[in-house]
Amino acid sequence: MQETLALVTGAAGGIGEAVTRLLAEQGTTVAAVDRDAERLTETAALLRKEGLAVTEFAADVTSSSAVERLVEEVETRLGPVHQLVNAAGVLRLGPAHTLTDEDWTATLSVNATGVFHMSRAVVARMIRRRTGAVVTVASNAAGTARAEMAAYAASKAAATAFTKCLGLEVASYGIRCNVVAPGSTDTPMLRGMHTAETAAQASVAGRPDQYRVGIPLGKVALPEDVARAVAFLLSDDAGHITMHELTVDGGATLGV
């Protein structure tokens, strides 16, 4: 029986690293992708020391040509990609009317265009094999307005819509495409958003002045919480689920 191969972007840290670890612990071979080559090498080396089948591939998902070369290299070295996880992401904060062109372009380039580049390259090969599963890690901000997060929310909304449309188009080939939408998660991205309070305390308490409720469950997610949702949607247990958006936010968007 052929081993399952997953390609995970944003694998050097945060949610992407947690997904990489969990899938590898479940016996999946993982092609770990990130543009931070140094950190990615350290992460992959640590996982291999634990006996996990992880191979690193440094690449920038914003480059169409780089992504095409990457996917070709992964399949040449490791075999056909059965699962794709789009977890690479960046965050630029600020009021919408003060965002720079660079803020907007950088955010959309990674969070939306990167998902397009990677999904196109991988799914084109999955279609020939008539099997595969894709999960895009988006955000609960894609469907709920957030102050000072306009570029991020827009990019995640685009990635969500793209993934669902892709799922519709490739369903007849047996390929499933789903979205996991995390809320506040204990990652460097979240910790970079807060100064006076800890990131966890600020997220749980909410911001009434910004019309932002807190988290009903009283805690932020761990990266592993999101990783488990991703792993489920990739698995055969979710074999009849596609074009679905699974929110993992402790109730922060009140189930809407």
Per the annotation, the verdict on 173 as an active-site residue is no
User: Measured between alpha carbons, how far is 152 from 154 in angstroms, rounded to an integer?
Assistant: 5
Ordered mean pLDDT values, 10 residues apiece, the chain (256 residues): 90 97 98 98 98 98 98 98 98 97 98 98 98 98 96 98 98 98 88 62 85 92 97 98 97 92
Tell me, what's the pLDDT at 147?
Answer: 95
User: pLDDT tens digits, residue range 188-228?
Assistant: 877 666 554 576 777 888 888 888 889 999 999 999 999 99
Tell me, what's the pLDDT at 117?
Answer: 98
Domains, the chain, with CATH or none: 5-183+222-243 (3.40.50.720), 187-220 (no CATH)
Contact 32, 56 (CB under 8 A): yes
Contact 176, 123 (CB under 8 A): no
List Cβ neighbours of 237 (8 Å cut-off, separation of 6 or more): none
pTM for this model (two decimals): 0.95
- Partners of residue 84 on adjacent β-strands: 7, 134
CA distance readout (Å), 173 to 83, 85, 128, 151, 236: 14, 19, 8, 33, 16
Tell me, what's the pLDDT at 197?
Answer: 55
Contact 85, 135 (CB under 8 A): yes
Indicate which residue of 21, 28, 31, 152 is catalytic: 152
Tell me, what's the pLDDT at 206?
Answer: 87
Burial class (CB in 10 A: 0-12, 13-18, 19+), 147: middle
